[in-house]
Amino acid sequence: MAEGTIQNKDEFLNRIAGKLGRKKAEPVTLPEWKHQPQWEVFKNSAPDDLLAAFCKSSKAKSAFVIQTEVANLETAMKDAIDKYGGGLIVTTKDGRFEEFGLEPLLADSKTHVWDADLGKRNIEIAKQANIGVIFSDISLAESGTIVQFNDKDIARSVSLLPVTYIAIVPQSTIVPRMTQATHRVHQAVAAGKGISTCINFISGPSNSADIEMDIVIGVHGPVEAVHIVVTDK
């Protein structure tokens, strides 16, 4: 991306300042909020309780949930792939696949690992793929949500274009709710670190209730979703 620009700022903001009773914007310190109910949700919950809540919430979001240990993850993955029709698979480029013993999945001839060097061809492959496999970076117990920090390797398309996404959810990534995830991003920003261009909160397959308020699963994103929760890593 080239250098950015701003147009028509001063006149616009000075007008707003004028309406608010000052000549121009003055520095503001964010107050300590009086009301912060968000921190009370699942406060002091044990990891196993969060895991149970994550599984329950995922199901409520129409995701199929599998619980397994690392030693059985490869088998669980194979079963899930078979259950959802096999075929062409696309994965993100993520060191955790090896870390979690999933080399055989990557080595399979029907698997395409996202490779930024191949350019737009990746998108063509993802479009044809039946299943996209990703890791969750942060997982929300309250809502069965997986969070991805997308970049050139953790590509947005993998969880978006295929008919089904399978998300591997290490138990250690489960937090009570969105509060903890956004707090982490806030801390990164406050520390002057760059953040991902797309921070994606995904909760199950795409859906719509636009026709007579009837919920239809599967609109422009995936039609099916699988959350494989890995318990001992």
| Interaction residues for other proteins, span 14-53 (CB under 8 A) | 14-17, 19-22, 24-28, 30-31, 33-38, 40-42
Closer CB to other proteins, 76 or 176, in the complex: 176
**What token pair was written down for 113?**
């690992």
Q: What are the backbone dihedrals phi and psi of residue 45, each rounded to the nearest 5 degrees, phi first?
A: -75, 140
Closer CB to other proteins, 25 or 71, in the complex: 25
Burial 31-54 (b: 16+ CB within 10 A, else e): eeeeeeeeeeebeeeeeeebbebb
Residue list 92-111, contact with other proteins (CB under 8 A): none
How many residues bind other proteins (CB under 8 A)? The answer is 93
d(CA 225, CA 34): 39
Q: Which residue in the set 88, 178, 231, 233 belongs to the binding site for other proteins (CB under 8 A)?
A: 178
Closest contact distance (angstroms) between CB of 131 and other proteins is 16
- The pairing of strands 145-150 and 138-140 is antiparallel
Contact yes or no for 194/34 (Cβ under 8 A): no
Closer CB to other proteins, 71 or 118, in the complex: 118
Closer CB to other proteins, 101 or 221, in the complex: 221
Closer CB to other proteins, 74 or 142, in the complex: 142
Q: Which stretch binds other proteins (CB under 8 A): 6-14, 68-76, 84-92, 98-106?
A: 6-14
Hey, how many other C-beta atoms are within 10 angstroms of the C-beta on 70? 15
